[in-house]
Amino acid sequence: MPLTDVEIRNAKPRDKAFRLFDGGGLYLEVSPAGGKWWRFKYRFGGKEKRLSLGVYPEVGLAGRKDKDSGAWIDGARDKREKARQMLASGIDPGEVRKAASSTKAERAANSFELVAREWYGKNKATWADSHGDKIIRRLERDVFPWIGAAPIADITAPLLLTTMRRIESRGAVETAHRALQNCGQIFRYAIATGRAIRDPAADLRGALPPTKPVHHPSITDPKAIGELLRVVEGYDGTFVTKCALRLAPLVFVRPGELRKAEWTEFALDSAEWRIPAARMKMREQHIVPLSDRAVETLRELQALTGSGRFVFPGARSKERPMSENTVNGALRRLGYSSQELSGHGFRSMASTLLNEQGWNRDAIERQLAHAERNDIRAAYNYAEYLPERRRMMQAWADYLEGLRAGAAVVAIGSSRVA
């Protein structure tokens, strides 16, 4: 006789487990501890098998509608009928259950965060340390908390967009674009390694508001440059910072490359600075020809910091380079606002004027260590245009010295005194 809800509720545990049969292979097993488990007994391939259908009362005898969503929730009898339909089609429901569990476990194991960290580990050696640090911090702060635990194959474009919108909502539109770009790279890596079939980031092209071009504030007027150089000579902060301010326009490397410079990278007798690939944005060794003025400044500074590792050691510890805010802070102290000039602006200054002066554009780009468009050439041409670059760097230093010794200073703010 089929079971009833009353019979099931009133079933009390005994010394040994016992069964209450509903028919068609379905029965309820009551354990000595009081647990009530639905089981389905069937035969497949000549063997008797059993399939667990859930625990009572979470799984009732009959199905029901969910009060909140209105969705139908299968009861034990519903599950039995589905299993019997599989058997009628020559399918073992137990094997289907195993396959589903295996797939579910596999998908859970390949979470977005797991795949992302694997992708990061495979690629970080190709990035400058600072670049790699920014990527992983961005993912940890803005992406992992929201979709990190989700199986990467289950992440949809709407879910990804919701994550990007959270970044955008705080006004960090550029960060949102960069995060989306990184997510796209991670999805493509997942596709290549067989853990996803498509890249939802590609579907979000145009979904975020466009970023505004970021222009590093710079000074390109020759008269204003001359004033700047004279003001630097009057800087009354530390000598290390003063030398960094002197060298920045002469070598026009990226601020991080300058402040992390190490004495072992310099050959002052041959007037050359070789920045190792590990410290360059594009992971390619970069040669900086040094002008007479640059060598003079470095020899003067060597007497003070030459016994240590860093050319520009930090104020608190000689074991660390100067802070990333030191040069910009010095410029503010000299009266230049963040809208007028930044440490990165010395690169724009050199690029603009050297191009105006007619120097070979390729030599300028090579000296700025911009990305090489031709990957094959980039593999061996870090010294490309070196003779011309040596002439250019000395001519640039002579030009700056001429500006520094030129017109009288026009004071713009009380702190700019010659």
Residues with catalytic roles: 254, 281, 344, 347, 370, 380
E-assigned strand segments in 121-207: none
DSSP per residue over 37-91, as a string? EEEEEEEETTEEEEEEEEEETTS-SS-EE-TTT--EE--HHHHHHHHHHHHHTT-
- Residues 156 and 198: beta-carbon distance below 8 Å: no
- Residues 286 and 347: beta-carbon distance below 8 Å: no
Rounded Cα distance, 245 and 63, in Å = 77
Instruction: Count the Cβ atoms, other than its own, within 10 Å of residue 358.
Output: 7
Rounded Cα distance, 160 and 207, in Å = 11
Q: Which long-range contacts (CB under 8 A, 24 or more apart) does 186-195 make?
A: 186/112, 186/115, 186/116, 186/119, 186/152, 187/152, 187/155, 189/115, 189/118, 189/119, 189/122, 190/110, 190/115, 190/119, 190/152, 190/153, 193/115, 195/110, 195/115, 195/152, 195/153
Q: At what angle do helices 239-251 and 326-333 cross, to 10 degrees?
A: 100
The count of C-alpha atoms lying within 13 angstroms of the C-alpha of 68, restricted to the half-sphere facing its C-beta, is 0
Q: Which long-range contacts (CB under 8 A, 24 or more apart) does 248-251 make?
A: 248/327, 248/343, 248/346, 249/225, 249/346, 249/349, 249/350, 249/400, 250/290, 250/291, 250/293, 250/294, 250/297, 250/393, 250/396, 250/397, 250/400, 251/288, 251/290, 251/294, 251/393
Rounded Cα distance, 116 and 186, in Å = 6
Q: Which of 249, 271, 248 is nearest to 258 (CA)?
A: 248
Rounded Cα distance, 362 and 180, in Å = 32
